[in-house]
Amino acid sequence: MRTMRTMRSRRRRVARRRQKRLITAGFVGGIVAGMIIWSMQLQRSRRDLFSPKPLRRLAALGYLRGRPGVETARLLGEYLRWEKDPALRRRAEALLAQVQAAL
C-alpha cells in the first residue's frame, strides 16, 4: 500500500513534468509566432517600398537599411528607377551605396 508521502511525491513529479511540457510548448510556440510575424513584416516592408504614401516608403527604406544583401541591392535599384521624390531618391541612393560597399 502506498503511503501518503509517496502519493504526494508522485503528484509533484507529474505536476513538474506537466509544467515543463507547458513551458516547452510555450517556447516553441513563441518561436513559431515570431517567425511568422517576421515573415509578414518583411513582406509588408517590401510592399511598402512602392507605396503611394511617402512616409511608408521612408519607413521601408529604414527597414531595408538593416538588411544589406544582394536582394536588397536589386530591390533598391528597382526602387530608384521608380521613385520620383528627390529626397527619397537621395536617401535610397545613399542606402544603395552602403549596401554595395558592404557586399
DSSP state letter for 95: H
| Structural domain boundaries enclosing 85 | 4-102
Q: What percent of the chain has pLDDT over 90?
A: 51
Structurally, how many domains does the chain consist of? 1
Q: What share of the chain is helix, strand, coil (3-state, %, to 5)?
A: 85, 0, 15
Per-residue pLDDT tens over the stretch 20-55: 999 999 999 999 999 998 888 777 777 788 999 999
The b/e string for 28-47 (b: 16+ C-beta within 10 A; e otherwise) is: eeeeeeeeeeeeeeeeebbe
At residue 2 the predicted structure's pLDDT band, cuts being 50, 70 and 90, is low
Per-residue pLDDT tens over the stretch 47-88: 788 999 999 899 899 888 888 889 889 999 999 999 999 999
Identify each DSSP E strand in 11-52 by its residue range: none
